[in-house]
Structure 1
Amino acid sequence: MTGTTRNSSELDPRRRRILFRSWRRGTREMDLIMGGFADENLPGMSEAELDEFERIVEVLDIDLYKWINGEAPLPDEYDTPLMHRLISFEAHKLF
């Protein structure tokens, strides 16, 4: 996979921005993890989940990658159901 498989024209402007940011993280590994998750999950996210995902998207790649792969403990403020869905998605899809 080299980029989004979702047609962003079906998304509202907020979800389009999040999708764009998810696929343009800075490292290819995180592009694939975050972008793939966004492709599959953004359309069905509630407003609260969108708020949380936007917060997750702002985390530095190096920190987020370590949390997702279990190399570093997940901080309490990110220990949420959405983050656990992201971790499960990553583990199931990529490794």
Structure 2
Amino acid sequence: MTEPFPSNEPRATRVRRMRMRSMRRGIKEMDILMMRFAEAHLDTLDDAELDMYDLVLSQNDQDLYQWVTGQIPAPAQIAPMIDRIANAASDDPVAKRPV
């Protein structure tokens, strides 16, 4: 697993970087899932949660998509954050709209 960016980065800069990385993923589905999670939760995460989210952002999109959608189990190191992202996605009223 790739390690996140250095922790000496100022919090405001770090949150902005993470928000941008959440919006600019490799596949559109992950852009949407991660962007919505970041907009709703990033400002309220503590430093340990930001570390875990940063680690999530460093993962391959195909793996990340399978973890968030529950197709395969996430690695234990990031599983709690993957669960939060998946729960936020399933609670999103836009996701529940009839097609």
Give TM-score, length-normalised by structure 1: 0.80
Higher radius of gyration, 1 or 2: 2
Deviation at 1:64, TM superposition (A): 0.6
Distance in 1 (alpha carbons) for counterparts of 2:82 and 2:91: 14
Q: Cα RMSD between the aligned structures?
A: 1.5
Deviation at 1:75, TM superposition (A): 2.0
Distance in 2 (alpha carbons) for counterparts of 1:76 and 1:48: 15
Aligned to 1:15: 15
Distance in 2 (alpha carbons) for counterparts of 1:50 and 1:66: 21
Aligned to 1:49: 49
| Structure 1 residue runs without a partner (length 5+) | 1-10
Structure with greater proportional helix content: 1
Aligned to 2:8: none
Runs of 4+ with >4 A deviation: none
Q: How many residues align?
A: 84
Aligned to 2:90: 91
Aligned to 2:5: none
Aligned to 1:75: 75
Deviation at 1:92, TM superposition (A): 2.2
Deviation at 1:79, TM superposition (A): 2.1
Aligned to 2:6: none
**Which secondary structure does the structure 2 equivalent of 1:76 belong to?**
coil
Deviation at 1:45, TM superposition (A): 0.9
Over the matched positions of the two proteins, sequence identity in percent amounts to 33
